[in-house]
Amino acid sequence: MKRLRYLYIMTAVIAAAVLGAGGCGTDRSNVKKEGVTLSFMMPQSHYRDFFQNEIRRFEKENPDYHIDVLRIPDNQWIDVTKAKAATGELTDLVRIDRGLMEEIGAKRFVEMTEKEKWYDRVLPEQLDNKKIDGKLYGLPIGGTSSVGLVYNRDIFRKLNLKVPSNLDEFRMACRQIKDGGYTPFYVSDKDSWTTAFGFSTTVSQTMTDDTYQKLVKGQMKWNNEEYRSVLEEFAAVRKEGFTNPDYTQATYNGAVDALAASKTAMYLSGQFCIHDAQTLNPKVNLAMTPAPYNGDVLTIKAGMGLFAVSAESSHIKEAKKFLDWFSKPDNMNEFNIGWNHTPVFKDQNMEMSDWQQNLYDNYIVPKKTALEINERLNGIDMTGFWADQQKLYTGQMSAREILDRWDQSFESQLSLHEQH
């Protein structure tokens, strides 16, 4: 056990050193020589335009403050955060999910109590799903959001197509859309976090609590016929030419561009994708439907996100001032609308779009939902599994090999959790 702990820390130190030399982006524009500079780390994909606007607004309203953002590539986020936690180098503020916080240790962050100005304003469900052992260690910022099939309503209407609710209907729609002169299904495999949506959104729809417990207890393997079939189905869609030809080099930004320009009809992603595309082209008519596997179930993220303050920060009071500012209804509205999340605070007054209201009324309210596996597996590092799925879609690995390797990684990580 001691040797495992030693190896973990050394790996973390090496990762921090390597990534400190490159691979991370830092927004150091207009750094002030006087006043307070708060360092803030987050995954690269979370540093979005609306959030940048909010930071600039905070700095304008508080001229003695500057927010120095450290942006970590998504596929390195977990390793870097663990490394910085192990070496005592967490930034003043960290955008973090409850699962990762729980894994690296909640005590590394400042506990937030009823004394915080914003505490009593948080919706009860958004407070409860972010607590660890009954305690809160950050400002809740993530509301419930849907993950599924983004589609262009105008293209579907023009071609007189039914929105697919299973893989057979999805394949049929792809054929008709291709015949109609559009890219049926955009794929951005250069970004592994987007590659994973095919598996995560579909498998989540059939993963019951019982299934999850069997996987955790080793009574069921990920390498099973159903899960292999899901991976093989999405590989076939690529091989049969229903995607953009450059899918191995395409990125999430490319997907947003294609959706905004109505060049593609479908894309698997989170609700934030629609906001990003409509920011480029407000007239594009996009909506979301459950992933085309079990159309009666909507895959959701419960919203485990927090803005946390490092317990070792020398600017705890100042960091809390930022959290107080950010918690204001107008600021949270801008943030949650940007992500297309539901509200986090009781006093937020947010209007939902028609498609979002439809998902809310027909799936979320009647609880015809399933938690995405990434959130079920709190503290489990899935980045290797994502990368292996990239290899499947380039023909370097089979579905059986990928799931067999994931079974080994999953079992190993569960074992380490038990030892710690």
Domains and CATH numbers, the chain: 2-144+305-348 (3.40.190.10), 146-301+371-419 (3.40.190.10)
Q: What is the pLDDT of residue 417?
A: 67
- How big is the CA angle at 306 (ends 123 and 380), to the nearest 5 degrees? 115
Bridge partners (DSSP) of residue 168 are none
Per the CB < 8 A criterion, the answer to whether 278 and 286 are in contact is yes
What pTM was computed for the model?
0.76
User: Taking Cα atoms as reference points, which of 110, 91, 68, 67 lies closest to residue 16?
Assistant: 91
- Residues in the chain predicted with pLDDT less than 50, given as ranges, are 1-23, 28-33
Q: Strand (E) positions, 19-129?
A: 25-27, 36-43, 65-72, 93-97
Share the mean pLDDT of the chain: 90
Supply 279's token pair: 């920011």
Positive or negative: CA dihedral 14, 20, 22, 27? positive
Positive or negative: CA dihedral 362, 365, 368, 371? positive
Quick: pLDDT tens for 367-405.
899 999 988 887 788 989 999 999 999 999 999 999 999
Q: What is the pLDDT of residue 11?
A: 45
